[in-house]
Amino acid sequence: MVTGDHAAIGKQVAGQIGMDQQILEVERIFKETSKDKNNEPVLKDECFDANGFAQVTPEDKFKIIQAFQNHDKITGMTGDGVNDAPALKQADVGIAVAASTDAARSAADLVLTMPGLGVIIHAIEEARRIFNRMISYSTFRITETMRVLLFMTLSILAFKFYPVTPIMIVLLAILNDIPVMTIAYDNVPTPKAPVRWRMKHVLTTATLLGIVGVISSFLLFWYLKTQAGFSNEIIQTMIFLKLLVAGHMTIFLTRNNSWLWKKPLPDLRMFLALEGTQIIGTLFAVYGWLIHPIGWAKAGIVWGYAIIWLLILNALKVIVVRSFHTKIK
């Protein structure tokens, strides 16, 4: 809260809206001697723990925004008057509330057309959910790229044999894209704190899921090729089905940081797209549409194998995520 009113009024209002009442007066905000290389005002350390500033002038509002930005803080401000315009312009996100003056509206990045600040809260929550969906998409894409490319490369080098045919690769690409598009509608947790890209976390999680996925596919391929005695056509179809089913299941692992059955549950549209494409791919494999048929028994074995590895991967992912959270704390 930044207000030109007396600190006592600021504390009273803060208490009424549920904020802590640590409101600093303007003379306690800035350091007396600036250490900024551009000779700009520098905030005192206690300002970063405060909940608001009182008895400020329009110039002080601008300086407060500028000082926070100099400390690598992302700033947002709401206002409605002419005196708020400079600070609204300086803030990373300036928001003019309903019934603002023309000066405030022209300086702001966003203009609210309805009374109240609830729309800001909803916008922040939706932005954080979108960010989580982007994390899920990125992790899934990296994981699947590693799984397919590494598995196919290792299989060809080890056995001089193509584990899937060109038509199977085309089917995998088409059937994978359908559920991936529905990630945009997924139900994801809403973080309570601001979110940032943590590429180390994303890459570590994706690498773990990708490498373990390659191991599971290669073990199945090795068994089918050297122990089961199946024909090459049956092996290729079973590997195709395994890559499809296990790949789609990976989305359940990348959509949150916990167990796959924890809330929020997947959006119905995404769930239907996932299961629908898995069923279609299974029918292709069972009845031999464009590929060699394997029947329901072998398809059931592949499904069971994929589900077992899904649970193993989920446990490994939870361990990795918890270790990251422990380091951050």
Residue 280 domain flag: yes
329 pLDDT more than 50: no
Question: For 282-327, how does the pLDDT look when each residue is reduced to its tens digit (9 = 90+)?
Answer: 999 999 999 999 999 999 999 999 999 999 999 999 988 887 765 5
Q: In whole angstroms, what is the distance from residue 42 CA to residue 30 CA?
A: 6
CA distances, 244 to each of 102, 168, 179 (Å): 56, 10, 12
Is residue 41 located within the same domain as residue 108? yes
Do 101 and 188 lie in one domain? The reply is: no
Domain final position from 119, 138, 173: 119
Instruction: With respect to residue 107, please indicate whether it lies within any of the assigned structural domains.
Output: yes
Flag whether 228 is in a domain: yes
**Sign of the torsion formed by the C-alpha atoms of 219, 222, 224 and 229:** negative
Query: Considering the domain boundaries, does residue 243 fall inside one?
Result: yes
CA distance 192 to 146: 32
pTM to 2 decimal places: 0.75
322 part of a folded domain: yes
Least confident of 20-34, 136-150, 232-246: 20-34
Does 13 share its domain with 95? yes
Residues 115 and 133 in one domain: no
Residues 187 and 296 in one domain: yes
Number of domains making up the chain: 2
96 phi and psi angles, rounded to 5 deg:
-90, 125
Q: Are residues 67 and 203 in the same domain?
A: no
The partner residues of 93 in beta bridges, in order of sequence, read: 76
Please check whether residues 143 and 278 belong to one and the same domain. yes
72 CB contacts (<8 Å, ≥6 apart)? none
pLDDT digits (tens, 9 = 90+) for 183-211: 999 998 888 888 888 888 889 999 999 99
113: domain CATH number is: 3.40.50.1000
State which residues form the domain around 225: 128-328
Cα(81)–Cα(115) distance, integer angstroms: 15
Domain edge (last residue) among 73, 89, 119: 119
Domain boundary among 84, 119, 154: 119
Assess if residue 2 is contained within a domain: no
